[in-house]
C-alpha cells in the first residue's frame, strides 16, 4: 500500500487525500442540506413532519424526536469508540483496538438499523419520496448520509478482517484506522447538523 512514501510536507499523501476529499464532501452535504432548507415549511399535503392543524383537522407529526435523539447518541458514542480504537492501534494494543473497532461497527450498524426502521415507519404513515417536498428532501439527504455511514461500516469491517488475517498489527494498520477514523468522525459531524436542522428546529 505504500505507493507514496515521498512526502514534502511530512503528511502522508493518503491522509492528505482523505482530508481534501472531506472538503469536497462538505459541499456535497451542503447542497443536500440547502435543498432541504429551501423547501422547509413549504408543504401543502400530509403527512407533515410535526403536528399540524389544517382546516380544523389534526395531523400527527411524523418525527419522533426522543427516538432519534437516542440514535444520535448511539452515533456519537461510535465516535468515542473510534477514538479509542485509534488509541489502541497507536499504542500497539491489538486487543484494545479490535474491541473498540467492533464496538464502532456495532454502533454504526445500530444507527443504520434505526434509520431503516424510521424510513419504514414514515412509508407506513404515507410519506413516500414523491409525496411532498419534505419527503423528497428528507429521504435524499438522510439517505445519502446513511450511505456514507454504510460505506464507513464496510471500511471498518474490512480493516477488522485485515487484523484477523494477521493476528498482529501490520506496519500500516494504525495509519489505516486513523484515516478511516477521519471519515467516520466527519460523517458523525454531518449528522449533528442534519439532526439539528431536521429534528430540533421547528418545521
- Binding-site ranges for other proteins (CB under 8 A): 1-4, 6-9, 11, 13, 16-17, 20-21, 23-25, 27-28, 30-32, 35, 38-39, 42-44, 129-130, 132-133, 136-137, 140, 158
**Which lies closer to other proteins via its Cβ, residue 114 or residue 138?**
138
Longest CA–CA span in the chain (Å) reads: 69
3-state secondary structure of 103: helix
Contacts of 62 (CB under 8 A, 6+ apart): 47, 48, 49, 50, 121, 122, 125, 127
Q: Which is nearer to other proteins, 73 or 126 (CB)?
A: 126
Q: How far is the CB of 77 from other proteins (least distance, A)?
A: 28
For residue 95, how many other CB atoms are within 10 A of its CB? 8
Give the count of beta carbons closer than 10 Å to the beta carbon of residue 130: 9
CB of 56 to other proteins, least distance (A): 23
Give, as one character, the DSSP assignment of residue 199.
I
Q: Which is nearer to other proteins, 84 or 180 (CB)?
A: 180
What are phi and psi for residue 89, nearest 5 degrees? -65, -40
Cell numbers for 174, please give them. 494504525
- The closest of 91, 100, 71 to 180, measured between CA atoms, is 100
C-beta closer to other proteins: residue 79 or 132: 132
Minimum separation from the CB atom of position 47 to other proteins (A): 15
The least distance separating other proteins from the CB of residue 2, rounded to whole angstroms, comes to 7
Cell numbers for 202, please give them: 421547528
Residue closer to other proteins, measured from CB, 10 or 56: 10
Residue nearer to other proteins on the CB measure, 4 or 92: 4
CB of 68: closest distance to other proteins in angstroms?
Answer: 23
- Confirm if 71 and 113 have CB atoms less than 8 A apart: no
- Tell me how far, at minimum, the Cβ of 199 lies from other proteins, in Å: 22
Amino acid at each position: 500500500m505504500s505507493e507514496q512514501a515521498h512526502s514534502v510536507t511530512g503528511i502522508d499523501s493518503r491522509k492528505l487525500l482523505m482530508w481534501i476529499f472531506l472538503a469536497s464532501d462538505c459541499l456535497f452535504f451542503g447542497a443536500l442540506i440547502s435543498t432541504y432548507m429551501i423547501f422547509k415549511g413549504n408543504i401543502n399535503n400530509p403527512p407533515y413532519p410535526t403536528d399540524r392543524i389544517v382546516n380544523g383537522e389534526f395531523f400527527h407529526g411524523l418525527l419522533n424526536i426522543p427516538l432519534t435523539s437516542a440514535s444520535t447518541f448511539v452515533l456519537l458514542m461510535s465516535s468515542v469508540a473510534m477514538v479509542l480504537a485509534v488509541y489502541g492501534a497507536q499504542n500497539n494494543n491489538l486487543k484494545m483496538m479490535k474491541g473498540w473497532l467492533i464496538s464502532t461497527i456495532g454502533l454504526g450498524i445500530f444507527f443504520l438499523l434505526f434509520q431503516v426502521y424510521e424510513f419504514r415507519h414514515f412509508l407506513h404513515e404515507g410519506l413516500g419520496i414523491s409525496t411532498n417536498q419534505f419527503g423528497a428532501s428528507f429521504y435524499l439527504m438522510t439517505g445519502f448520509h446513511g450511505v456514507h455511514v454504510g460505506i464507513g461500516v464496510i471500511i471498518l469491517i474490512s480493516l477488522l478482517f485485515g487484523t484477523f488475517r494477521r493476528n498482529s498489527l501490520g506496519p500500516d494498520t494504525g495509519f489505516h484506522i486513523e484515516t478511516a477514523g477521519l471519515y467516520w468522525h466527519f460523517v458523525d459531524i454531518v449528522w449533528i447538523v442534519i439532526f439539528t436542522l431536521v429534528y430540533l428546529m421547528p418545521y
